[in-house]
Amino acid sequence: MEKIYDVIIIGGGPAGLAAGLYAGRARLDTLMIEKMTEGGQIVTTNEVENYPGGIEHESGPSLIGRMVGQAEKFGVKTVKEAVTAVELTGDIKIVTTTANVFKSKTIIIATGANPRPIGCPGEAALVGMGVSYCATCDGAFFEDLDIYVVGGGDSAVEEALYLTRFGKKVTIIHRRDELRAAKYLQEQAFANPKVEFFWDSVVTEIKGEEMVEGMTVQNVKTGEIREILADPEDETFGIFVFVGLIPASDLFAGVLDMKDGYIITNDNMETNVKGVFAAGDIRVKDLRQVVTAAADGAIAATQADKYISGH
């Protein structure tokens, strides 16, 4: 007989893992599909300071490791495959991956969001050659070099602070004259002698043949253009980009109600399609954090259980 899961969770970040934990504990037959390794964006974080009850100085991968263990303990199965298509509207939902076709009574979408590029000339060609979207992954390559961080949100400031352990100095390039990041992070950045700022500024071009050699930065208020060249002794510098996120929702376009690419749900994580729930950063919401993602996942799994049992 063909296998029909109770719940398929798409995405293995904190929202998906929390959904797995709750679905597993409810004894629902649960499959989690994750295209890479579990963890989502938080695995690129060196220290998670604001997860309640978290261990001091715990890294994103360490926290995720404990979440994975907890979900597995309650019987959640995981496959590492990319989802290529979904059919959500029938009573039985169909999820097609690069290797399989899976069926389920309910779906929890926890696909999260990916880093947004600046979009300037030269950026795409120099990814991995000086341009990076992950400080924990690439920071060590820039030991004693200049580092520039683009953005003014929590990610930019948090990662700039982390990068001070490697760079000669770390310059935050922000398009306004005021940071969006949490005040606590701002205070740390302003107090750190290795952190400098280019205010009201955007990167308009990144230059280099086989590595970043220079970039053009424009002041959006005065129009002044600044050419930044690598120190001749260093030959290169690092550009870390944290200018927000792009929701990973393309698969669901035209079927699920969305706002700016984020899926609309009610407080029970229900989408406009029966039996389909969304949790974590993929949802329309104000606060995108591990704690809110985990809470969404718990709610989605609990509601999936109620939907299946008809209560």
CB 272 within 8 A of CB 291: no
Smallest distance, Å, CB 269 to ligand NAP?
18
By rule CB under 6 A, what string of x and - marks binding of each residue 24-63 to ligand NAP?
A: --------------------------x-------------
Question: Are the beta carbons of 71 and 20 closer than 8 angstroms?
Answer: yes
Asked whether the beta carbons of 225 and 207 are under 8 A apart, the reply is no
- Interaction of residue 285 with ligand NAP, rule CB under 6 A: no
In angstroms, how far apart are the furthest CA atoms of the chain? 69
Out of 118, 228, 230, 282, the residue judged to bind ligand NAP by CB under 6 A: 118
The yes-or-no answer on residue 120 being catalytic is no
- The residue among 145 and 217 lying less far from ligand NAP, judged by its C-beta, is 217
Distances (CA, A) of 27 to 8, 77, 110, 276, 309: 13, 12, 20, 19, 12
C-alpha radius of gyration, the chain, whole number: 21
Residues 6+ apart with CB under 8 A from 198: 171, 172, 173, 174, 217, 226
Under rule CB under 6 A, which residues in 62-81 are in contact with ligand NAP? Answer: none
Considering only residues 146 to 165 of the shown chain, the ones binding ligand NAP according to CB under 6 A are: 150-156, 158
Q: Which residue do the tokens 């779906």 mark?
A: 107
Give the nearer residue to ligand NAP in terms of CB position, either 259 or 274. Answer: 259
Verify binding: residue 202, ligand NAP, rule CB under 6 A: yes
User: Is residue 289 a contact residue for ligand NAP (CB under 6 A)?
Assistant: yes
The answer to whether 175 contacts ligand NAP (rule: CB under 6 A) is yes
Is 121 near ligand NAP (CB under 6 A)? no
Binding site for ligand NAP (CB under 6 A): 50, 118, 150-156, 158, 175-176, 180, 202, 242-245, 288-289
